Amino acid sequence: MDRVERFTNHQSVSSQYELLDEMMDCYGQAIQQLVYTYVKDYATAEDLTQEIFIKAFKKLHTFRHQASVKTWLFRIAMNHFKDYLKSWHYRQIVLDNDFVHNTIANEVQIEQRFMQQSEEKRLANAVLKLPLAYREVVYLYYYEEWTTREISQMTQKNENTIKKRLNRARKLIKNLLSQEESE
């Protein structure tokens, strides 16, 4: 991490290029995982991750040392995902898929599939089923282990909003998991 941060002091193109290389070594995996929790599709997550690092490269001059490289990259990733949601591709293809997934018949199917799954799989799937705003906060808090304060800075939302979302997410998950048990 320090290595990467030291690098940002260099301005020449070749050292920026090396910096990108370093950033991908350190955070490529973390970014791709985050993006996966957004898009829930392996191939799309790969494409978006590459685009995010290219964006980061072009924005290197905006990096300020108040934030860690990781926080900075996560913010770029979140913004890039928002742009992706607005894109033509997403509207044409993914929304159609979502629509299909949201029909009741499908919900039942998914829940039935949960029955035979391990506890880990049930929990992961339940989290992935949360609406985006809750899923994101849950991921940043429980997986990346950021504090509610850090998450509030990163997402530029009030810390109380973050706490409320976490509470609500816990309730939603409890319901989801107990529904399956009672079936």
Partner 1 sequence: MNDPLMNVKHAFDKTVFERVQFTENQKKKTLIQVDPLKQKKIEIMILQTLYDSTKTGFAILNDLKKRIGKEDFQNNEGSVYILLHQLESKRYIQSQWEDNKGAKIKYYHIENKGRKRLVEIENEEGNKTSFRLDWEGGLRG
Binding residues for partner 1 (CB under 8 A): 11-13, 17, 20-21, 24-25, 28-29, 31-33, 36, 42, 45-46, 49-50, 53-54, 57-58, 61, 118-121, 123-125, 127-128, 138-139, 142-143, 145, 169-170, 173-174, 177
Of 125 and 153, which CB lies nearer to partner 1 in the complex structure?
125
Dihedral sign of CA atoms 142, 143, 145, 151 in order: negative
Residue 57 CB, nearest approach to partner 1 (Å): 5
Of 104 and 164, which CB lies nearer to partner 1 in the complex structure?
164
Instruction: Give the span between the Cα atoms of 137 and 165, in whole angstroms.
Output: 7
Instruction: Give the span between the Cα atoms of 130 and 64, in whole angstroms.
Output: 33
172 C-beta neighbours (distance < 10 Å), count: 17
Residue 170 CB, nearest approach to partner 1 (Å): 6
Residue 30 CB, nearest approach to partner 1 (Å): 8
Of 104 and 114, which CB lies nearer to partner 1 in the complex structure?
114
Q: Where are the beta strands (DSSP E) in 23-173?
A: none
27's tokens: 């955070």
Of 65 and 121, which CB lies nearer to partner 1 in the complex structure?
121
Measured CA distances, 35 to 1, 28, 71, 97 (Å):
21, 11, 14, 18
Residue 159 CB, nearest approach to partner 1 (Å): 18
Longest Cα separation, the chain? 62
Residue 176 CB, nearest approach to partner 1 (Å): 9
70's tokens: 């990781």
Measured CA distances, 171 to 35, 57, 127 (Å):
24, 40, 12
Of 5 and 28, which CB lies nearer to partner 1 in the complex structure?
28
